[in-house]
Amino acid sequence: MNSGSIASLAAATLVAGFAMTVNGATPGVRAVTVAEGVAMGWAVAFLPGGDLLVTERAGTMRRIGAGGALGKPINGVPAVVFRGQGGLLDLVLDSRFEANRTLYFCYSAASEAGDANSTALARAKLSADGTRLDSLRVIFQQSPMVDSRAHFGCRIVESPDGNLFLTLGDRFSRMQDAQTLDNHHGKIVRITKEGTAPADNPFVGKAGALPEIWSLGHRNLQGAALDAESRLWTTEHGAQGGDELNQPQAGLNYGWPVITHGVNYGGGKIGEGINKKAGLEQPVHHWTPSIAPSGLAVLTSDRYSPKWKNSIFAGSLKFNYVARLTIRDNKVASVEQIIDLGQRVRDVRQGPNGFLYVLTEAPKGRIVRLEPIAPGG
């Protein structure tokens, strides 16, 4: 393709105020750059009018405007623990953002003494000019805090009932905690927007159980999304092998570390070295060897091939690609790699315009839009 053709294509693919340039292609779909220079980005959110918000793990939240220019850091973001896997992580807008300017984000927060940390979920309002966060309030804190650099989890999903799901890692050194209900390690929690436990949560009123818990037995969940029927889907990292796709149900136990399809790093069994046990849930799908999944979207739009609708799209940190999983009868019928982006894939989202957007994680990462290629194009 000559430079004139590229310029014509870029001009023809302006979406939501962004100037885009083609930077890669595979059969069926191509990546069109929306913005670049994002420093170790973790999450992207879509503002009304076409601008974006992005989080950078070192603790910066930025607005991305027309033409893909990264704005100055937004003021009011709290201090984060930026070490290991920690930092400023997921970000979602409230379903009524246009009316209330409210957003939610999670991050690695330190204890007062600075000797421990855990995942915190905060609520704030984005100022009308988009330059600062107002009315900041931490509405949930993972308990207990521990001294760890790993497994913060940290994906947020708002359900149609207005409650929030938050995924929480096992903190690596505390993997046995994933099997007990007196802590938030290795759990999915479900809370109200005020941070309280809804009355219909599965463990409300159970002695010794934290009422926020929705499901248990997880390792490190870094992907979460709702499908067209408002069912929650998640992906989580196994150890060496055993990455999982699950559809977490209220009160169920997903097995970690009692059962797993993976092994310890470098080899050797985990626990009893089994992958099935009565009373513990099997994943809908597992990846062995691992792909290190992060970022998850369920396509509900008609922007692509009809075969793609209702498919699940998962990013791979390890192999730099986006995978499409076809779901039939609540089971994975097929898995295919749709595009290799050459950088770790951290977030995958369906935009308001129905297209899939992908955030890559690198010192100079980028946000791309996945655009269908017409036959012969």
The pLDDT of residue 308 is 96
The pLDDT of residue 211 is 98
Q: What are the two backbone dihedrals, phi and then psi, of residue 333, each rounded to the nearest 5 degrees?
A: -90, -30
The mean of the pLDDT values for the chain is: 92
Q: How is the chain split into domains, by residue range? A: 38-350
- Choose, from 151, 218, 237, 261, the residue flagged as catalytic: 151
Q: Render pLDDT for 222-236 as a digit per residue (tens, 0 to 9).
A: 999 999 999 999 999
**Residue pair 64/6 in contact by the 8 Å Cβ criterion:** no
Residue bearing the bigger pLDDT, 24 or 331: 331
The pLDDT of residue 28 is 83
Look at the chain and count its residues.
377
| Whether pLDDT at 360 is above 70 | yes
pTM, to two decimals:
0.93
Average pLDDT of 165-183? 98
| Residue 183 half-sphere exposure toward CB, CA atoms < 13 A | 21
| Whether pLDDT at 119 is above 70 | yes
Of 243, 248, 246, residue with least CA distance to 261: 243
The pLDDT of residue 375 is 59
Q: Render pLDDT for 123-160 as a digit per residue (tens, 0 to 9).
A: 999 999 999 999 999 999 999 999 999 999 999 999 99
3-state secondary structure of 309: coil
The pLDDT of residue 259 is 98
* Neighbouring residues of 17: CB distance < 8 A, sequence distance ≥ 6: 49, 50, 51, 65, 66
Average pLDDT of 322-349? 96
| Whether pLDDT at 12 is above 50 | no
Average pLDDT of 234-251? 98
Q: What are the two backbone dihedrals, phi and then psi, of residue 44, each rounded to the nearest 5 degrees?
A: -130, 145
| 151 among known catalytic residues | yes
Average pLDDT of 343-362? 98
The pLDDT of residue 21 is 36
Average pLDDT of 80-86? 98
E strand or H helix at 98 = helix 97-100
3-state secondary structure of 97: helix
% of the chain surpassing 90 pLDDT: 90
The pLDDT of residue 289 is 94
In this prediction, residue 11 has a pLDDT band, given cuts at 50, 70 and 90, of: very low
Separation in Å, CA 178 to CA 127, 175, 220, 256, 344: 38, 6, 10, 7, 27
- What's the rounded Cα separation, in Å, for the pair 47 and 93? 8
Q: Render pLDDT for 288-302 as a digit per residue (tens, 0 to 9).
A: 999 999 999 999 999
Of 362, 326, 375, residue with least CA distance to 38: 362
- CATH code: domain 38-350 is 2.120.10.30
The pLDDT of residue 66 is 79
Q: Render pLDDT for 14-73 as a digit per residue (tens, 0 to 9).
A: 333 233 333 443 458 999 999 999 999 999 999 999 999 999 999 999 999 978 999 999
The pLDDT of residue 67 is 86
- What's the rounded Cα separation, in Å, for the pair 222 and 346? 9
| Whether pLDDT at 8 is above 90 | no
The pLDDT of residue 322 is 98
**Residue pair 243/286 in contact by the 8 Å Cβ criterion:** yes
Q: What are the two backbone dihedrals, phi and then psi, of residue 262, each rounded to the nearest 5 degrees?
A: -110, 180
